[in-house]
């Protein structure tokens, strides 16, 4: 593919399949040597989550009706997939889910600096590998600082909520496009693929898209 492929990814940093799917897609892009331009977009898995969050095991049981055994098996499966893709999941008995509206505001801010990718990856690692509380403004500003952003400005962005409306509008746009689950990947603004497809499937998709541009 000689033309640069636009890839829009709608995701939430609380979503394990989002980082798994991204890593699978990245491998496919590397294998096919596809020139690409990735754009990340906000989605909240749990927009009504209270500030204190919820234990992940309790959350999964409540939301999906999973038994403890099913939940544990799923986490084990995701952890293995992560290891195979070079990403570490560290699930613990006290792992929690949180609302991510503030993370999306910081990501919007980072995007204005052309650095959304860096902060997005930092948030995935902070949540899944280090179990940090992404609902805590101080933690979020610390992560931004560690990723090379201005810590004071990051905290100010969160405190004054200056990007709240912009994030809400973008979330609403994707919902209106029919996005109800993530990861959702849109290739060249035309082809929607949902869920973590696996490296082989992503490779096949990229090869097919390459033929369309010939």
CATH at 126: 3.40.30.10
Residue 213 pLDDT grade (very low, low, confident, very high; cuts 50, 70, 90): low
Q: What is the pLDDT of residue 51?
A: 77
Q: What is the pLDDT of residue 59?
A: 87
C-alpha span between 167 and 165 (Å, rounded): 5
**29 against 60, higher pLDDT:** 29
154-195 confidence digits (pLDDT tens) = 999 999 999 999 999 999 999 999 999 999 999 999 999 999
Domain that holds residue 135: 5-212
Evaluate whether 139 touches 145 at the Cβ level (below 8 Å). no
Q: What is the pLDDT of residue 3?
A: 87
Q: What percent of the chain has pLDDT over 90?
A: 86
Report, as an integer, the average pLDDT of 78-98: 95
C-alpha span between 76 and 90 (Å, rounded): 10
Residue 52 pLDDT grade (very low, low, confident, very high; cuts 50, 70, 90): confident
Tokens read off for 210: 């390459």
Q: What is the pLDDT of residue 119?
A: 98
Average pLDDT over all residues of the chain: 94
**63 against 45, higher pLDDT:** 45
55-73 confidence digits (pLDDT tens) = 988 988 888 888 888 988 9
Q: What percent of the chain has pLDDT over 70?
A: 98
* Helix and strand element counts for the chain (H, E): 9, 6
Question: DSSP 3-state assignment of 146?
Answer: helix
In the β-sheet with 184-187, what is the strand arrangement from edge to edge? 36-42, 5-11, 184-187, 191-194
Q: What is the pLDDT of residue 193?
A: 97
Q: Structurally, how many domains does the chain consist of?
A: 1
């Amino acid at each position: 593919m000689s033309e640069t492929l636009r890839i829009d990814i709608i995701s939430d940093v609380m979503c394990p399949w989002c980082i798994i799917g991204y890593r699978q897609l990245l491998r496919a892009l590397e294998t096919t040597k596809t020139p690409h331009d990735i754009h990340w977009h906000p989605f909240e898995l749990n927009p009504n989550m209270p500030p204190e969050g919820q234990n992940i095991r309790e959350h999964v049981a409540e939301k999906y009706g999973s038994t403890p055994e099913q939940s544990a098996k799923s986490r084990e499966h995701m952890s293995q997939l992560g290891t195979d893709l070079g990403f570490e999941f560290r699930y613990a008995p006290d792992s929690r889910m949180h609302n991510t509206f503030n993370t999306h505001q910081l990501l919007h801010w980072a995007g204005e600096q052309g650095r959304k990718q860096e902060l997005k990856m930092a948030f995935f690692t902070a949540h899944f590998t280090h179990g940090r509380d992404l609902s805590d403004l101080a933690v979020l500003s610390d992560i931004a600082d560690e990723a090379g952003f201005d810590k004071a400005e990051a905290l100010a962005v969160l405190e004054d909520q200056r990007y709240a409306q912009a994030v809400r509008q973008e979330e609403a746009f994707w919902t209106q496009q029919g996005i109800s689950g993530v990861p959702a990947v849109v290739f060249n603004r035309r082809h929607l693929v949902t869920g973590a497809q696996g490296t082989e499937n992503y490779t096949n998709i990229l090869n097919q898209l390459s033929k369309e541009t010939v």
